[in-house]
Amino acid sequence: MPVRFAILGFGNHAVRRLLPAFSRSSSVKLTGMWRRDQHAAKQNCAEHHIEHCFATPKDLVTSPDVDVVFITSPDSLHRDDTLMAIEAGKAVLCEKPVSMNAAEAREMADAAKAKDVLYGVAQNFRYNRSIDWMRDSIRANKIGKVQLAQAEYAYPADRAPRKWIMDPTLAAGGPIADVGVHCIDALRYVLEQDVTSVNTLATKTRPEDRVEAIATLQMEMTGGVLANVNCNARAPYRTLLSFTGSDGILVAESGFSVDRPVEVVHRRAGEVIETVTIDNSDGYTRMLEAFAQAYRTGSAFAATGEDAVRNMAALDAAFLSWTSGKREKTA
């Protein structure tokens, strides 16, 4: 019998990414959903053959027909939605950024531990095969000791259907929180290092902007790594991952993409040593299946709620640095 998920906060992301991911697997099943607009919810359930169209979030988290609550509501609701599901004894997979700040993230992780329920974060790129390949290559010392790292994520947020991501009462921030957290998490995951301090430059591009539009983060990391994260909510889609070591570099243009094959290039002294092309199209499905496996067997899930506290600490330092104009240490 597949592990039964229900989505709390069903929206465009669920339709575009999650429904196809569920359809590709026999070990997970989307059995229910809730969204604020109940008329739209009924249409979604009918169109996508979702069995349970819950009237309230409480109905969803207390249903005996739900094993895992997948929280995809706006950022400001993650804490309350997660705590409600944990209190009901449900396993929780929560979208990133997991909360509005590190203090909320800590509260959520502690609640899951106290209740002894599985709690993870949908940092789906940890299940991209290209990112795993880069991590394994660095572990194998292909480029020597990593000295510099870079992650970049650009996208046109002002034309995205998720209008709430530009509202600071609902979103943890602009692109720093929305996609910068993916960059920070990917660097932490690939390098198996942590962020110790952040210096941020950010700007708004229009008078009506209430969150940052473009930002660059200079980060000190453990292991002697200096890293740079660029995030831009006013440009066409583009992602990049790059690692410079004492004996070579790894570069992946479109490094976060799940929509097209990713080419990872290994160079040394300007010469191409190796090029691999990797398909990440099953990344979301791999994430769902890994969480289901953890739910069934207690196996490890790559993005724990405890680990998310470190991502949020880095985000807190990034936003504080933007305000203070100084380099800020992570808590």
Tell me how crowded residue 105 is: count the other CB atoms within 10 A of its CB: 29
Measured at the CA of 213, the angle between CA 322 and CA 70, to 5 degrees, comes to 95
Domain boundaries, the chain: 3-124+285-299, 125-281+313-329
- Phi and psi angles of residue 284, each rounded to the nearest 5 degrees, phi first: -65, -40
Cβ 217 vs Cβ 174: under 8 Å:
no
Residue 310: its pLDDT value, please?
98
3-state helix/strand/coil string of 121-137? ECCHHHHCHHHHHHHHH
CATH 1.10.645.10 fits 3-124+285-299, yes or no: no
Residue 162: its pLDDT value, please?
82
Amino acid making up residue 279: D
Residue 243: its pLDDT value, please?
98
Q: 3-class SS at 30?
A: strand
**Cα dihedral 309/201/165/287 (nearest 10):** -40
Q: Which residues of the chain are modeled with pLDDT < 70?
A: none
> Which of 228, 256, 223 is CA-nearest to residue 146?
223
Q: What length does the chain have?
A: 331
Sheet hosting strand 68-71, strand order edge to edge: 52-53, 28-34, 3-8, 68-71, 91-94, 119-121
Q: Do domains 3-124+285-299 and 125-281+313-329 have the same CATH topology?
A: no
Give the CATH architecture of domain 125-281+313-329: 2-Layer Sandwich (3.30)
Cβ 85 vs Cβ 110: under 8 Å:
no
